[in-house]
Amino acid sequence: MILTVTLNPSVDRALEVDVLVRGEVLRAADSHIDPGGKGVNVSRALLANGVRSTAVVPTGGAEGEQLVDLLNAEGVDLLSVPIAGRTRSNITVAEPDGTVTKINEAGPVLSDAEFAQVSKAVLDAAAQADWVVICGSLPPGPGIDAFTDLCSRLVGAGYRLAVDSSGPALLAGVAAGAALVKPNREELAEAVGAEPATLGDVIEACRRLRAAGAGAVLASLGADGAVLVDADGVLAGASPVSVPRSTVGAGDAMLAGFLAAGARGAEALTEGLAWGAAAVSLPGSRMPTPADLDRTQVRVTPDPDPSRPLHS
Ligand SMILES: Nc1ncnc2c1ncn2[C@@H]1O[C@H](COP(=O)(O)OP(=O)(O)OP(=O)(O)O)[C@@H](O)[C@H]1O
Ligand SMILES: O=P(O)(O)OC[C@@]1(O)O[C@H](CO)[C@@H](O)[C@@H]1O
């Protein structure tokens, strides 16, 4: 079982418009509502592919109830911790050329007592889990010290921790010794203080995160695919998408596929890239099912050319 933790989940509303024009009334050609938040998406992708997962989410207010209903309707196994605040709604505006504009709310304040309840739920359930996967932004309220403490307790208890977050939360996961971190290109740049221009820059940045404590670094690079740096060495790969529809949740699908396939080596990276590419071809933050996956398009190479420039 893979336990996901989303400290700041959301109800995701995606609107498809012909062209996004500021200051105009736009008519949506299509719309979707999905349960949202990065760990929630990892659980949804795992479930859609027959991998057991439980999602820990703090939920509150009408949107919290809606999120629980949406997740129950999909059949996601839930550990919902009630909070006083209102779960956020995040908006995606998608254009036909694949351009996505996203507006995310800050999310409800999580009090110290609520964060302690969420942490307890995570630590209690972790014993049954092959991985504990903490994803997404930190809500207002718990400081970085509380988050660091949760990561350290999980690692200290011997659980395999994966962290997909940004800024201080990503660095907290690294410093706590998470077995895996999954930054995207911007998060990697922020973590090492340098914008990568080539594959070599990405590999160097991943090595720095490993030197700082992370066991493995899976860097997702949008259309440039992904790089895995771990104790076994370096792998890079990509999977082309002819008609990108929505990149929202692609990183979550990629991480889910990688974990589902054992989180190690070319096979796991191939699976992750296949799930990521499939998510990009689907609307909103819809997660791929086995019927959406095409592993034949994925190319993974060991020791890639470090001078290769990044495009996306
Ligand atoms: N335009 C694209 N073409 C092909 N594959 C893509 C494209 N965009 C994303 N992907 C796939 O999805 C994976 C994740 O993308 P990205 O790096 O944008 O993640 P992310 O920023 O974490 O996404 P999110 O936070 O929305 O889940 C990539 O590693 C790649 O496999
Ligand atoms: O604000 P965060 O926590 O960084 O990201 C939240 C979010 O954008 O991430 C998911 C896609 O990865 C969406 O379901 C959700 O709206």
Q: Residue 262, Cβ neighbours under 10 Å: how many?
A: 11
Chain Cα centroid distance, residue 247? 12
- Which tens digits make up the pLDDT trace of 106-160? 999 999 999 999 999 999 999 999 999 999 999 999 899 999 999 999 999 999 9
Q: Which ligand is nearest to the CA of 183?
A: 1
**pLDDT (tens place) for every residue of the chain, 312 residues total:** 999 999 999 999 999 999 999 999 999 999 989 999 999 999 999 999 999 999 999 999 999 999 999 999 999 999 999 999 999 999 999 998 888 999 999 999 999 999 999 999 999 999 999 999 999 999 999 899 999 999 999 999 999 999 999 999 999 999 999 999 999 999 999 999 999 999 999 999 999 999 999 999 999 999 999 999 999 999 999 999 988 888 999 999 999 999 999 999 999 999 999 999 999 999 888 999 999 999 999 999 998 999 999 986
CB within 6 Å of ligand 1 — which residues?
A: 184, 220-223, 225-226, 239, 241, 244, 247-252, 254, 273, 276-277, 280
Q: Do 111 and 84 meet the contact criterion of CB atoms below 8 Å apart?
A: yes
Q: How far apart are CA 59 and CA 306, in angstroms?
A: 44
Q: Whose CA is nearest to atom 7 of ligand 2?
A: 37
Query: Which CATH architecture group holds 2-302?
Result: 3-Layer(aba) Sandwich (3.40)
Q: Residue whose CA is closest, atom 1 of ligand 1? A: 223
Ligand approaching nearest to the C-alpha of 240? 1
Distance 186 CA to ligand 1 centre (A): 12
Percentage with pLDDT > 70 across the chain: 100
Task: List CB contacts of 81: < 8 A, sequence separation 6 or more.
Answer: 56, 57, 58, 59, 114, 117, 118, 121
Atom of ligand 2 minimally distant from the CA of 250? 12
For atom 1 of ligand 2, which residue has the closest CA?
137
**Assign residue 40 a region: left if phi > 0, alpha if psi is -120 to 50, beta otherwise?**
alpha
Q: Which atom of ligand 1 is nearest to the CA of 272?
A: 31
- The ipTM value here is 0.98
What's the CA-to-centroid distance between 36 and ligand 2, angstroms? 7
The single residue of 252, 292, 294, 305 carrying the catalytic annotation is 252
Cα of 247 from ligand 1 centre, angstroms: 6
Ligand 1: atom nearest CA of 244 is 1
Q: Does the active-site annotation cover 232?
A: no
Domains of the chain, residue spans: 2-302
Pair of tokens at residue 96: 């036909």
The DSSP bridge partners found for residue 220 are: 184, 226
Helix or strand run (H / E) with residue 30: strand 30-36
